Structure 1
Amino acid sequence: MKATARSAACRLLEEAAIAGHPQARYNLAGYEWRNERFDRAVKHWIIAANLGYDDSIQRLKESYKDGLVSKEDFAGALRAHQAAIDATKSPQREAAEKYLAKNAHRIIYN
């Protein structure tokens, strides 16, 4: 990818991350990681974890094992991640998940 296309993609990711999109935040972390800006990558993963993005927890765990994340930051991210997950639970969502599990074979995606 050319530098101009990369910077344009990065700008779009930043806009989405600022708007609260957790996967964009996670992807920004990957961009920062590849550019060896590990502190920035970890911050993005923490924010994505706080938004309930599961993959960021795995990256934070790996970074914690490598000594790049403090025990306190990792524990805080875990608590915030769990709180975000709990906030999305509802009887309607659970009923929908149960329905989809039972009827997934009937759903046709276009």
Structure 2
Amino acid sequence: MMKRVEANDPVAIYEMGVFRYEEGDYEGAFEYLTKGAELGDAGAHYLLSIMYDIGHGVEEDENKRVHHLEEAAIGGHPDARHNLSSFELRNGRMDRAVKHAIIAANLGHDISLGFLKSAYKVGGLVGGLISKDDFAATLRAHQAAVDATKSAQREEAEAGRRVM
């Protein structure tokens, strides 16, 4: 792992940041994750957004939190996209919240799909902001994303995990 970190492998650097974070070494995690984010790792940006949100190893900072969420979302991180949707919803920007939720759902994010489903059925806060065609397209894209993650190896690993 350290050879990959020394070779500036962004995934290895992110993994080392996660390891440090889970160990409670937030300063070490911050260093690795910052380097991973500089190398373009979406997961590193996402975890930095969490650190800035809850103040682990850094001072809470809404601007930096949102910056890292945006970078992670641009990098294709579904949870970041969902969190941006929630952020926009809290700030009354319903159209932006729906757009972020659609993108997250298209990436296979179940909670975002549930939000859109409720919004479509009930109307609620975002009533009228998602058309029938857009909702149908989102359902298809979500299913395609979920199907793309299925494999015999994953199902076997999941079955083994439940036994243990």
Runs of 5+ unmatched residues, structure 1 = 104-110
Measure the CA separation in 1 of the matches of 2:79 and 2:152: 25
Which residue, out of 55, 71, 74, partners 2:135?
Answer: 74
What TM-score results when the alignment is normalised by the length of structure 1?
0.87
Structure 2 equivalent of residue 95 of structure 1: 156
Aligned residue-pair number: 101
Which residue, out of 67, 72, 80, partners 1:24?
Answer: 80
> Which amino acid is the alignment partner of residue 101 of structure 1?
R
Structure 2 equivalent of residue 107 of structure 1: none
Q: Which has the larger radius of gyration?
A: 2
What RMSD, in angstroms, separates the aligned Cα atoms of the two structures?
A: 1.4
Deviation at 1:39, TM superposition (A): 0.7
Structure 1 equivalent of residue 119 of structure 2: 63
% identical aligned pairs: 59
1:84 maps onto 2:145 in alignment: yes
Query: Deviation string for 1:42-85 (max 9, x for gaps)?
Result: 01001001110100011101221212311111111110000000
> Which amino acid is the alignment partner of residue 146 of structure 2?
I
Measure the CA separation in 2 of the matches of 1:63 and 1:18: 24
> Which amino acid is the alignment partner of residue 103 of structure 2?
I
What TM-score results when the alignment is normalised by the length of structure 2?
0.59
Higher relative contact order (CA 8 A, sep 6+): 1
Query: Deviation string for 1:72-106 (max 9, x for gaps)?
Result: 11111110000000001111001001111111xxx
